[in-house]
Structures are given as structure tokens and as C-alpha cells.
A = this chain, B = another copy of it.
Amino acid sequence: MADQLSQVFSALADPTRRDIVARLTAGDSTVGDLAAPYDVSLQAVSRHLKVLEEAGLVSRSREAQRRPVHLEAEVFDLMTKWIERYRRQAEERFSRLDDVLAAMDDTGAPDNPLKEGTAS
């Protein structure tokens, strides 16, 4: 799973691939249709799709002649879970800092223990 997360982040670290994913949210699409708005070769778009497919972000039908590209939107959950977990931890830490600062305001304490060790 950690490895897929690396692949998903890496796949989305390219504006064209993010744009392909964004367009696939509107519906399945052929490689030709996906390539149309870009000033790059069909081959280049196929390479981008391969990266997205290896990351599990898209799949392609084996049966249909058009082989439409399909977005596997549930892979977004992998990223969201990771981001939300650490965002929550960071926010909790800041809210604890706020509590400490608020408590210091209440008591009018002149010394700021948080500055300890950061003085140059």
C-alpha cells in the first residue's frame, strides 16, 4: 500500500496527468479523445495513461474495441486518508499550542516557555 501511495503521488506530480484524471471524472474516454486538446503525440498520452494505470488511478477495458479509459476514483481515498491523518495531527498540535497561549494570557505570565531553546 505504501508503494502504491508513492506511485499515486508520483503519477499526479504532472499537470497533464492531473488534467487527464480531471477530464475522466466526467466519464470514460478513448485515448484519441483524451489526446485531442493537447499539443503532444498520441504516444505521449499513451505513456501518461500507462503511468496512471500502473498507479491504479485508471483502468482500460480489455474487451471493447475502443478500449475506453476509466477513472478508478476510489484510489483518491488512499491519498485522502494519508493527508487527513497527518493534517489532523498537525491541527491538534496547533490547538494545544493555542490552549497554552490562551492560558498564559489569562494568568498574565511574562515568560514564554515556548521560546525556550529557539533563542540564537
Contacts and interface: CB of A to CB of B under 8 A. Distances in A.
Interface of A is mostly: helix
A79 B76 contact: no
Contacts of A112: none
Contacts of A82: 18
Contact of A13 (B13, B26, B65, B84): B13
Contacts of A3: 15
A22 B82 CA distance: 9
Nearest to A12: B9
Interface of A: 2-3, 5-7, 9-10, 12-15, 18, 21-22, 25-27, 61, 63-66, 68, 71, 73, 76, 79-80, 82-84, 86-87, 89-91, 93-94, 117-120
